[in-house]
A = this chain, B = another copy of it.
Amino acid sequence: MQGTTAQEPATPGTTPPPYPRTDRTIPTRSPQRASYDRDLVHAILDEAYVCHLGFVRDGAPVVLPTLFGRVGDRLYVHGSTGSRPLRMTGQAPEGLPVCVTVTHVDGLVLARSAFHHSINYRSVMIHGLAHDVTDPTEKREALDALVNHAIPGRAADSRPANKKELAATAVIRLDLTEVSAKARTGGVNDEPEDLTLPHWAGVIPVHRTYGTPLPDPDLAPGTELPAYLGEL
Protein backbone atom coordinates (compact mmCIF):
# COMPACT_ATOMS: atom_id res chain seq x y z
CA MET A 1 0.00 0.00 0.00
CA GLN A 2 3.13 2.17 0.13
CA GLY A 3 3.42 5.44 -1.66
CA THR A 4 0.13 5.19 -3.48
CA THR A 5 -2.08 7.55 -1.55
CA ALA A 6 -0.60 11.02 -1.74
CA GLN A 7 -0.27 13.48 -4.54
CA GLU A 8 3.39 14.36 -4.89
CA PRO A 9 4.66 17.36 -6.80
CA ALA A 10 5.94 15.07 -9.55
CA THR A 11 9.21 16.35 -10.95
CA PRO A 12 10.69 13.42 -12.85
CA GLY A 13 14.39 12.86 -12.43
CA THR A 14 14.81 14.95 -9.28
CA THR A 15 15.40 13.60 -5.81
CA PRO A 16 13.43 15.46 -3.15
CA PRO A 17 15.71 17.15 -0.61
CA PRO A 18 15.98 15.44 2.79
CA TYR A 19 14.32 16.94 5.84
CA PRO A 20 16.71 19.21 7.76
CA ARG A 21 18.19 17.81 10.97
CA THR A 22 17.15 19.69 14.11
CA ASP A 23 17.86 19.30 17.79
CA ARG A 24 14.56 17.44 18.16
CA THR A 25 15.02 15.10 15.20
CA ILE A 26 18.54 13.88 15.96
CA PRO A 27 17.94 10.86 18.22
CA THR A 28 19.74 10.68 21.55
CA ARG A 29 20.24 6.96 20.98
CA SER A 30 21.46 5.09 17.86
CA PRO A 31 21.61 8.17 15.62
CA GLN A 32 23.02 5.91 12.86
CA ARG A 33 19.52 4.41 12.58
CA ALA A 34 17.99 7.79 11.74
CA SER A 35 17.15 8.98 8.24
CA TYR A 36 15.84 12.25 6.87
CA ASP A 37 15.02 10.88 3.43
CA ARG A 38 11.71 12.29 2.27
CA ASP A 39 10.63 9.27 0.19
CA LEU A 40 11.43 6.88 3.04
CA VAL A 41 9.49 9.02 5.53
CA HIS A 42 6.49 9.19 3.20
CA ALA A 43 6.57 5.43 2.56
CA ILE A 44 6.62 4.62 6.30
CA LEU A 45 3.73 7.03 6.91
CA ASP A 46 1.66 5.73 4.00
CA GLU A 47 1.94 2.11 5.11
CA ALA A 48 0.43 2.88 8.53
CA TYR A 49 -3.27 3.02 9.35
CA VAL A 50 -2.87 4.69 12.71
CA CYS A 51 -0.55 7.36 14.05
CA HIS A 52 -0.01 8.24 17.70
CA LEU A 53 -0.71 11.93 18.24
CA GLY A 54 0.89 13.48 21.32
CA PHE A 55 -0.19 16.76 22.85
CA VAL A 56 0.04 18.42 26.25
CA ARG A 57 -3.03 18.92 28.42
CA ASP A 58 -2.71 20.60 31.82
CA GLY A 59 1.05 20.05 31.71
CA ALA A 60 0.78 16.28 31.17
CA PRO A 61 1.22 14.36 27.91
CA VAL A 62 -1.65 12.63 26.11
CA VAL A 63 -1.01 10.07 23.34
CA LEU A 64 -4.03 9.43 21.15
CA PRO A 65 -4.20 6.78 18.41
CA THR A 66 -5.88 8.20 15.34
CA LEU A 67 -6.30 7.78 11.59
CA PHE A 68 -4.50 10.21 9.33
CA GLY A 69 -3.98 11.22 5.72
CA ARG A 70 -1.10 12.80 3.82
CA VAL A 71 -0.99 15.22 0.90
CA GLY A 72 2.64 15.85 -0.04
CA ASP A 73 4.28 17.33 3.05
CA ARG A 74 1.04 17.90 4.90
CA LEU A 75 -0.36 15.43 7.39
CA TYR A 76 -4.05 15.60 8.27
CA VAL A 77 -5.94 14.26 11.28
CA HIS A 78 -9.70 14.49 11.56
CA GLY A 79 -12.25 13.95 14.25
CA SER A 80 -15.43 15.22 15.78
CA THR A 81 -15.51 18.94 16.45
CA GLY A 82 -15.89 17.88 20.11
CA SER A 83 -12.62 15.91 20.15
CA ARG A 84 -10.17 17.38 22.65
CA PRO A 85 -7.00 17.90 20.57
CA LEU A 86 -9.05 19.21 17.64
CA ARG A 87 -10.91 21.64 19.88
CA MET A 88 -7.62 22.68 21.49
CA THR A 89 -6.11 23.29 18.05
CA GLY A 90 -9.07 25.43 17.05
CA GLN A 91 -8.48 27.53 20.15
CA ALA A 92 -4.71 27.90 19.59
CA PRO A 93 -4.19 30.73 17.08
CA GLU A 94 -0.46 29.95 16.79
CA GLY A 95 -1.06 26.22 16.54
CA LEU A 96 -0.99 23.35 19.05
CA PRO A 97 2.42 21.76 19.78
CA VAL A 98 2.13 18.10 18.78
CA CYS A 99 4.31 15.10 18.08
CA VAL A 100 3.04 12.45 15.67
CA THR A 101 4.69 9.03 15.61
CA VAL A 102 4.09 6.05 13.34
CA THR A 103 5.70 2.65 13.95
CA HIS A 104 5.85 -0.67 12.08
CA VAL A 105 7.14 -3.84 13.74
CA ASP A 106 8.94 -5.92 11.11
CA GLY A 107 10.58 -8.64 13.16
CA LEU A 108 11.53 -10.01 16.56
CA VAL A 109 15.29 -10.24 17.05
CA LEU A 110 16.25 -13.08 19.39
CA ALA A 111 19.83 -12.86 20.61
CA ARG A 112 21.69 -15.39 22.74
CA SER A 113 21.97 -12.72 25.43
CA ALA A 114 18.88 -11.10 26.99
CA PHE A 115 20.59 -7.72 26.57
CA HIS A 116 20.80 -7.91 22.77
CA HIS A 117 17.15 -8.85 22.17
CA SER A 118 15.55 -6.26 19.93
CA ILE A 119 12.99 -5.73 17.23
CA ASN A 120 13.27 -4.74 13.63
CA TYR A 121 11.10 -1.71 13.08
CA ARG A 122 10.54 1.40 11.02
CA SER A 123 9.22 4.56 12.60
CA VAL A 124 8.63 8.22 11.78
CA MET A 125 8.45 11.05 14.28
CA ILE A 126 7.09 14.49 13.38
CA HIS A 127 7.33 17.56 15.62
CA GLY A 128 5.41 20.72 14.95
CA LEU A 129 2.37 22.89 15.41
CA ALA A 130 -1.05 21.60 14.39
CA HIS A 131 -3.39 24.09 12.74
CA ASP A 132 -7.13 24.03 12.26
CA VAL A 133 -8.12 23.58 8.60
CA THR A 134 -10.81 26.14 7.81
CA ASP A 135 -10.57 26.41 4.01
CA PRO A 136 -13.45 24.29 2.62
CA THR A 137 -11.41 23.07 -0.40
CA GLU A 138 -8.45 22.00 1.74
CA LYS A 139 -10.83 20.33 4.19
CA ARG A 140 -12.44 18.26 1.41
CA GLU A 141 -9.01 17.29 0.04
CA ALA A 142 -7.88 16.31 3.52
CA LEU A 143 -10.94 14.11 4.08
CA ASP A 144 -10.41 12.44 0.70
CA ALA A 145 -6.75 11.86 1.64
CA LEU A 146 -7.83 10.29 4.93
CA VAL A 147 -10.10 7.77 3.18
CA ASN A 148 -7.55 7.10 0.41
CA HIS A 149 -4.78 6.65 2.94
CA ALA A 150 -6.40 3.50 4.29
CA ILE A 151 -7.84 2.31 0.95
CA PRO A 152 -6.21 3.91 -2.09
CA GLY A 153 -8.92 4.88 -4.57
CA ARG A 154 -11.77 4.57 -2.10
CA ALA A 155 -12.74 8.26 -1.76
CA ALA A 156 -14.03 8.33 -5.34
CA ASP A 157 -16.10 5.19 -4.66
CA SER A 158 -18.12 6.45 -1.69
CA ARG A 159 -20.71 9.11 -0.99
CA PRO A 160 -18.86 12.36 -0.20
CA ALA A 161 -19.54 14.08 3.11
CA ASN A 162 -22.66 16.28 3.07
CA LYS A 163 -22.97 19.71 4.67
CA LYS A 164 -24.03 18.35 8.05
CA GLU A 165 -21.21 15.78 8.15
CA LEU A 166 -18.65 18.39 7.10
CA ALA A 167 -19.83 20.72 9.86
CA ALA A 168 -19.49 17.95 12.45
CA THR A 169 -15.94 17.10 11.38
CA ALA A 170 -12.84 19.05 12.36
CA VAL A 171 -9.57 18.64 10.47
CA ILE A 172 -6.13 19.68 11.64
CA ARG A 173 -2.95 19.97 9.59
CA LEU A 174 0.64 19.30 10.60
CA ASP A 175 3.29 20.36 8.11
CA LEU A 176 6.15 17.89 7.65
CA THR A 177 9.13 20.14 8.36
CA GLU A 178 10.75 18.69 11.49
CA VAL A 179 10.73 14.99 10.68
CA SER A 180 12.90 11.92 11.03
CA ALA A 181 12.64 8.22 10.30
CA LYS A 182 14.33 5.56 12.36
CA ALA A 183 14.73 1.90 11.54
CA ARG A 184 16.42 -1.26 12.64
CA THR A 185 16.92 -3.98 10.07
CA GLY A 186 19.02 -7.10 9.80
CA GLY A 187 20.05 -9.86 12.13
CA VAL A 188 21.36 -10.54 15.60
CA ASN A 189 24.19 -8.52 17.18
CA ASP A 190 25.50 -10.83 19.92
CA GLU A 191 28.84 -10.44 21.70
CA PRO A 192 31.54 -12.59 20.04
CA GLU A 193 32.03 -14.60 23.25
CA ASP A 194 28.32 -15.53 23.28
CA LEU A 195 28.25 -17.12 19.80
CA THR A 196 28.91 -20.63 21.13
CA LEU A 197 26.03 -20.50 23.65
CA PRO A 198 23.35 -23.13 23.04
CA HIS A 199 20.44 -20.66 22.75
CA TRP A 200 18.69 -20.38 19.38
CA ALA A 201 19.22 -16.95 17.83
CA GLY A 202 17.69 -15.33 14.79
CA VAL A 203 14.88 -13.16 13.51
CA ILE A 204 11.14 -13.91 13.42
CA PRO A 205 9.62 -11.82 10.61
CA VAL A 206 6.35 -10.07 11.49
CA HIS A 207 3.88 -9.18 8.73
CA ARG A 208 0.51 -7.53 8.31
CA THR A 209 -2.00 -9.62 6.40
CA TYR A 210 -5.64 -9.24 5.39
CA GLY A 211 -8.50 -11.66 5.95
CA THR A 212 -11.35 -12.39 3.55
CA PRO A 213 -13.51 -9.26 3.11
CA LEU A 214 -16.76 -9.48 5.12
CA PRO A 215 -19.53 -7.85 3.07
CA ASP A 216 -22.20 -5.82 4.86
CA PRO A 217 -25.37 -7.97 5.10
CA ASP A 218 -27.43 -5.12 3.58
CA LEU A 219 -25.27 -4.79 0.48
CA ALA A 220 -27.35 -3.78 -2.58
CA PRO A 221 -27.84 -6.89 -4.78
CA GLY A 222 -25.14 -7.35 -7.40
CA THR A 223 -22.57 -5.14 -5.64
CA GLU A 224 -19.18 -6.66 -6.39
CA LEU A 225 -15.95 -6.40 -4.45
CA PRO A 226 -14.04 -3.49 -6.01
CA ALA A 227 -10.73 -4.24 -7.74
CA TYR A 228 -8.76 -1.81 -5.52
CA LEU A 229 -9.41 -4.04 -2.52
CA GLY A 230 -7.45 -6.80 -4.20
CA GLU A 231 -4.36 -4.60 -4.09
CA LEU A 232 -4.21 -4.29 -0.30
Interface residues of A (CB under 8 A from B): 24, 28-29, 49-50, 52-56, 59-65, 67, 79-80, 82-84, 97-101, 103, 105, 107-108, 110-115, 117, 119, 121, 123, 125, 127, 143-144, 146-147, 150-151, 154-155, 157-162, 165, 169, 187-188, 190, 194-220, 223-226, 229, 232
Task: Tell me if B61 and A54 are in contact (CB < 8 A).
Answer: yes
B187 touches A154 (CB 8 A): no
Q: Is the CB of A226 within 8 A of B214?
A: no
Determine the main DSSP class of A at the interface with B: mixed
From B121, B123, B194, B214, contact of A159 by CB (8 A): B194
Name the residue on B nearest A165 (C-beta).
B115
Q: Is the CB of B188 within 8 A of A52?
A: no
B60 touches A97 (CB 8 A): yes
30 A-B residue pairs with CB within 8 Å: A28-B83, A29-B79, A29-B80, A50-B105, A52-B63, A52-B103, A56-B61, A61-B63, A64-B101, A108-B150, A110-B154, A113-B159, A113-B165, A114-B147, A114-B155, A117-B150, A157-B200, A159-B194, A188-B216, A190-B216, A195-B220, A197-B220, A198-B220, A200-B225, A200-B226, A201-B216, A207-B209, A207-B210, A208-B208, A208-B209
Copies of the chain in the assembly? 2
Asked if A114 and B158 make an inter-chain contact with CB atoms under 8 angstroms apart, the answer reads yes
How far is the CB of A193 from the nearest CB of chain B, in Å?
10
State which of B55, B101, B108, B195 has its C-beta within 8 Å of the C-beta of A151: B108
B215 pairs with A61, CB closer than 8 A: no
What are the residues of chain B within 8 A of A206 when measuring CB–CB?
49, 208-211
* CB-contact partner of A157 in B54, B188, B199, B225, under 8 A: B199
